[in-house]
Amino acid sequence: MPNISKSLLHRFLRWKSKNLSHNQFLMFLSAIIGLGAGLGAVLIKNLTHFIQFLLETKFIENYREGFYFIFPLIGLFLVYIIINFILQKKVGHGIPSTLYAISRKKGIMRTYQMYASLITAPITVGFGGSVGLEGPTVATGASLGSNISRLFLMNQASRTLLIGCAAAGAMSSIFKAPIAAIIFAIEVFSLDLTLASLLPLLIASVSAILTSYFFFGNDIILPFRLEDAFSLSEVPFYILLGVLAAACSLYFSKVYFSIMSLMAKINSPLLRLTTAGLGLGALIYFIPPLYGEGYNVINNLLQENYLQALGTNFFNAYLENIWVVILLLAGLVFFKIIASSLTFSAGGIGGIFAPVLFMGSAMGHCFALILNNLGILKNPLSVSNFTLVGMAGLMAGVLHAPLTAIFLIAELTHGYELFIPLMITATISFMITNRFQPHSVYTMELAQRGDLLTHNKDQTVLTLMNISRVIEKNFITLNIDMNLGDVIHKGVMKSSRNLFPVIDGNRNFMGIILLDDIRPIMFDQKMYEKLSVRELMHQAPEIIDIEKDKMQEIMAKFQDSNAWNLPVVKQDKYVGFISKSKLLTAYRQKLIEVTV
C-alpha cells in the first residue's frame, strides 16, 4: 500500500511539473491549507465547548462554582498524562514553537503536532485553564501546512509561506476577520509583503472563513456593532488610554516571564503542576471570570452587563456601588496574566491571544468608568468604545502587532468608525512598549537565543544559518608544551594549512601560530630545542564561542578583527575554525533558499 501511495504521488508530481507553475500550485495548496486550518479551528472550539458543557450543565449544574477550584487541576493532570504517556513528545506553546520551527528547523514540523494541540488545548481550556485557543489553532494549521509542503517537495521559502497561510487561515476562521488575519501572519511571522506572498495568504484566509461560515453560520466570537460615534473631543482620552495600555503591556510581560522563571525552578514536573494548578484553582474560585478563555466576559463588558461579567463572587452585595465594580474590573486586569502564567507553568497548552483581549477589554472598560464617574466630563465617554480600543491597545503592546490590533477590532465592529482612536491608542501603546520591551511575548525567548526572524532580510538569513555547518576541523593542533622542532615535524610537514591552533593537555584553546611567525627560523635547527610553542604563539584576534555567539555576533567579529579565520571553542575547548570565505558562501546559499 505505501508503494502505491508513493507511485501516485510521483505521478502527480510529474503531472504538476508539466501542467502547473510553481505559483499556481502554491495557490492551490494555500486553499487546501486554509480549509484545513479552518477545520482545525472548528474542532478545537467545539471540543472545548463540549467539555465546558459537560462540566457546567450536566454533571454539577448547581455546584459548579465550588468545583472551580479543582477543575483546572484535573484538566492539567489529564494533559500531563496525555503528553508524557500517550504522545510521549513535547507539545510546544503554539506560535512561539512555530516561529522556532521556521527559524531553526527550516519550517519542518513533526506530524504529531497536527493533532497534539488539537487534543491538549481543549482539555486545558475546557477544564478552566486561563489561556486561549488561538495559539494552538495556529500551531495545528502550521503543522498541517509544513507537512503538506514537505509531501509535495516545496522549498524552504514556500514552506514558510504556507505556514503563514495556515496562521492566517486559523485567525480568519476564529474571528471571521480575513484582512486582520492576513496582517497577523505578516506581522507575527515576518513574511515579505509581495504580490507573490499576498495572494496565497488571501486565498487561505478566504478558504478558512468560508469553512467557519459553513459550520458556525453568522455567529462570531465577539458579536458587537458600534452605537456611539467617535468624537474629536475624546482624542486626549484615547492618548491616555494608549499610555495606560503600554503600562499594562509591560506589566503583562514582566509577570508572565517572572512566574514562568519562578516555576521553572521547581525541578519535579508533578510538583510544579500541583503547585501552579492549586494556585490557578484558588484564583478561579475567588475570581470566576478567570475561568477559561473569557470571551463571555468580554462580550458582557461590551454590552455593559457588569453583573454577568463579574459573575458570582464575594462582593455581590456591594455591586451597586460603581467604585466596587471598578475595583473588581481592575482586579481582572491584575490577576488574568497571573492565572494565564500559572496555567502555562503547570504544563497547560494554550495561547496568550485571548488573555490579551480579556485584559484589554477590562482595562478599557475600567478606564472609561473611572473618567465617567469622577464628575469632570461634560459628556460621558462611550464605555463600549473604550472597551474595544483597550483591547487593541494591549494587543499592540503585548504582541507587538499594532496593525493586527487595528484591523481586527475594525473588522469585528463591521466598520471603520473607530479607526482613528484605534490608530492613536495602538500606536502609542506600541511605541512606548517597544522602547522598554523590544520584543513581544511570542518572540522574547527566541530573541534572547538568537533564533528570531524579523522583516530585516539580512538578519533573517543570519538567523537561519547553522554555525556547525561552517566549522572547519582539518587543522593540526599543537600542544603548548611542544618546541619548535615538534612544530616543524608534527605540524608544518603534515599540514596543508598555514595556521595552527595551540591547546593544552585538556584541549583548552590557548592561542595560534601562523606559518609566517616561524618562517624566518624554521630552517635553523639550532633553535628547534630552544624555542617553545608557548613563546611562539600569540592570541587570536577574536574567539567564537559556539554556545554563546550568534551568527550576527560572529559576522561582527570578522568585520571588527579583519581576520580571515577565527577559532571556535565550546566551554573553552578547541573545536575548529571558521573562515570568512566559507561563511560568506553559506550566507549566499541561505539567501537563495529563503528568497526563491
DSSP-derived letter for residue 132 is B
Q: Is the pLDDT of residue 105 over 50?
A: yes
Q: Does 588 or 74 have the greater pLDDT score?
A: 74
pLDDT per residue over 561-576, tens digit each?
A: 888 888 888 888 998 8
pLDDT band at 593 (very low <50, low <70, confident <90, very high): low
Q: At CB < 8 A and 24+ separation, what contacts does 452-459 make?
A: 452/99, 452/103, 453/99, 453/102, 453/103, 453/189, 453/190, 454/190, 455/190, 455/192, 457/192, 457/591, 457/594, 457/595, 459/552
What lies within 8 Å, CB to CB, of 188 at 6+ separation is 95, 99, 167, 399, 401, 404, 442
pLDDT band at 1 (very low <50, low <70, confident <90, very high): very low
Kind plus residue range of the DSSP H or E element containing 592: helix 580-595
Q: Are residues 202 and 240 both part of a single domain?
A: no
Q: Are residues 55 and 140 both part of a single domain?
A: yes
DSSP-derived letter for residue 440 is -
pLDDT per residue over 242-297, tens digit each?
A: 999 999 999 999 999 899 889 989 989 999 999 999 999 999 888 889 988 889 99
pLDDT per residue over 292-301, tens digit each?
A: 888 999 999 9
Q: Are residues 200 and 262 both part of a single domain?
A: no
- Residues spanned by the domain of 55: 2-216
DSSP-derived letter for residue 494 is G
DSSP codes of every residue in 450-461: T----S-HHHHH
C-alpha pair distances (Å), 346 with each of 25, 133, 287: 42, 17, 19
Cβ–Cβ under 8 Å, residues 388 and 171: no
Q: Can you give the length of the chain in residues? A: 596
Q: Which residues of 475-487 are buried (b: 16+ CB within 10 A; e: fewer)?
A: bbebeeebbbebb
Handedness of CA 450, 453, 457, 463 (dihedral sign): positive
Q: Say what the pLDDT of residue 446 is.
A: 59
Answer whether residue 548 is part of any domain.
yes
Q: Span 113-136, mean pLDDT?
A: 90
pLDDT band at 3 (very low <50, low <70, confident <90, very high): low
Answer whether residue 224 is part of any domain.
no
pLDDT band at 464 (very low <50, low <70, confident <90, very high): low
Q: Say what the pLDDT of residue 104 is.
A: 67
Q: Are residues 292 and 197 both part of a single domain?
A: no
Distance CA 465, CA 421 (A): 42
Q: Are residues 243 and 334 both part of a single domain?
A: yes
Cβ–Cβ under 8 Å, residues 204 and 33: yes
Q: Are residues 346 and 378 both part of a single domain?
A: yes
Q: Say what the pLDDT of residue 333 is.
A: 93
Distance CA 166, CA 140 (A): 8
Domain total of the chain: 3
Chain Cα centroid distance, residue 35: 23
Q: Say what the pLDDT of residue 596 is.
A: 47
Q: Grid coordinates standing for 60? A: 454539577
Distance CA 421, CA 412 (A): 15
pLDDT per residue over 432-463, tens digit each?
A: 999 998 877 777 665 555 554 544 444 555 55
Domain boundary at 450, 483, 514, which? 450
Q: Are residues 414 and 335 both part of a single domain?
A: yes
Distance CA 137, CA 351 (A): 9
Q: Is the pLDDT of residue 29 over 50?
A: yes
DSSP codes of every residue in 318-381: GTTSHHHHHHHHHHHHHHHHHHHHHHHHTT---BSHHHHHHHHHHHHHHHHHHHHHTT--SS--
User: Nearest CA to 45 among 291, 295, 342, 339?
Assistant: 295
Q: Does 588 or 233 have the greater pLDDT score?
A: 233
pLDDT per residue over 538-552, tens digit each?
A: 888 888 888 787 777
Q: Are residues 134 and 267 both part of a single domain?
A: no
Mean pLDDT computed over every residue of the chain: 84
Answer whether residue 222 is part of any domain.
no
Q: Say what the pLDDT of residue 252 is.
A: 93
Range with the poorest average pLDDT among 37-41, 86-90, 128-132, 172-176: 86-90
Answer whether residue 341 is part of any domain.
yes
Of the chain, the percentage scoring pLDDT greater than 70 comes to 89
Domain boundary at 383, 417, 450, which? 450
Q: Grid coordinates standing for 53? A: 458543557
Q: Strand ranges (DSSP E) for 219-349?
A: none
CA–CA–CA angle 181, 186, 187 (5° rounding): 95
Distance CA 4, CA 151 (A): 15
Q: Say what the pLDDT of residue 59 is.
A: 55
pLDDT per residue over 55-89, tens digit each?
A: 876 555 555 555 677 889 999 999 999 999 998 88
Answer whether residue 226 is part of any domain.
no
Q: Span 148-167, mean pLDDT?
A: 84
In one letter, which amino acid is 330? Answer: A
Q: Are strands 544-545 and 509-514 parallel, antiparallel or unpaired?
A: unpaired
Query: What residue spans of 93-194 are helical by DSSP H?
Result: 94-104, 113-126, 134-151, 156-175, 178-189
Q: Are residues 205 and 256 both part of a single domain?
A: no
pLDDT per residue over 476-492, tens digit each?
A: 888 888 888 888 888 88
Q: Is the pLDDT of residue 171 over 60?
A: yes
What CATH number does the domain containing 528 carry?
3.10.580.10
Answer whether residue 227 is part of any domain.
no
Q: Grid coordinates standing for 559? A: 568585520
Measured in Å, how far apart are the chain's first and last C-alpha atoms?
A: 35
Q: Grid coordinates standing for 254? A: 514582566
Q: Say what the pLDDT of residue 94 is.
A: 72
Q: Grid coordinates standing for 354? A: 485571548
Answer whether residue 455 is part of any domain.
no
Answer whether residue 89 is part of any domain.
yes
Q: Say what the pLDDT of residue 57 is.
A: 67
CA–CA–CA angle 423, 237, 429 (5° rounding): 45
Distance CA 101, CA 109 (A): 6
Distance CA 62, CA 64 (A): 6
Domain boundary at 184, 216, 248, which? 216
Q: Does 190 or 420 have the greater pLDDT score?
A: 420
Q: Are residues 211 and 239 both part of a single domain?
A: no
pLDDT band at 429 (very low <50, low <70, confident <90, very high): very high
- SS3 label, residue 437: coil
Q: Are residues 371 and 253 both part of a single domain?
A: yes
What CATH number does the domain containing 271 carry?
1.10.3080.10
Q: Are residues 250 and 362 both part of a single domain?
A: yes
Number of helices (H), then strands (E), belonging to the chain: the values are 26, 7
Q: Is the pLDDT of residue 499 over 50?
A: yes
